[in-house]
Amino acid sequence: MNLIKLKFELAKITDVNKIIKMYKSGFKELFERYHDIDTNPYMESKEVISRKIRQQNSYFFFLIYNQHEVGLIRVMTDSEDKARAKISPILILPQYQNNGFAQSALFHIENKFSNVKEWNIDTIKQETKLLHLYTKSGYTLTSQPELHIKNGMDLVFLTKYV
């Protein structure tokens, strides 16, 4: 696996508008495909994102490559079990997709949170490209039942133990 060296910059509450802009760019294609107003980050308000930034055990990081913000990732550590965390969301801006940034970000975030031994992520079952990314990165589908969002859109859950 050829990893790209990324810099992780922790987002601050003053970055909320930048995060919204990245959400709109990074999740637009999925929103237009599924028209999912309930769960797509594309639809998240400034208030919701601000609350997530302030939330304890929640960390938004900008992904920086050659002084360019190529995406972002949010890690939520389990408040009761520090060895467990969830990634939600991870996004790579469209102009930087298909270059290995997402896989590199997943690898590096696992090293950054070295105390975490169980990583969880969910994705749209119908998005085979995303499923491939996560399985290629060592995640496996869990036995948790799929979550039906709407016709033609279901969430599946994946875990990785490190």
pLDDT reading at 1 higher than 90: no
pLDDT per residue as tens digits for the range 19-61 = 999 999 999 999 999 999 999 999 999 999 999 999 999 999 9
Average pLDDT, integer, range 93-100: 97
Domain ranges across the chain: 7-120
pLDDT above 90 covers a percentage of the chain that reads: 98
CB atoms within 10 A of CB 106: 22
Structure tokens at 105: 């970000």
What DSSP assignment string belongs to 45-70?
-HHHHHHHHHSTTEEEEEEEETTEEE
Evaluate whether the domain defined by 7-120 bears CATH number 3.40.630.30: yes
Q: Residue 156's pLDDT is what?
A: 98
Q: Which residues contact 56 (CB under 8 A, 6 or more apart)?
A: 79
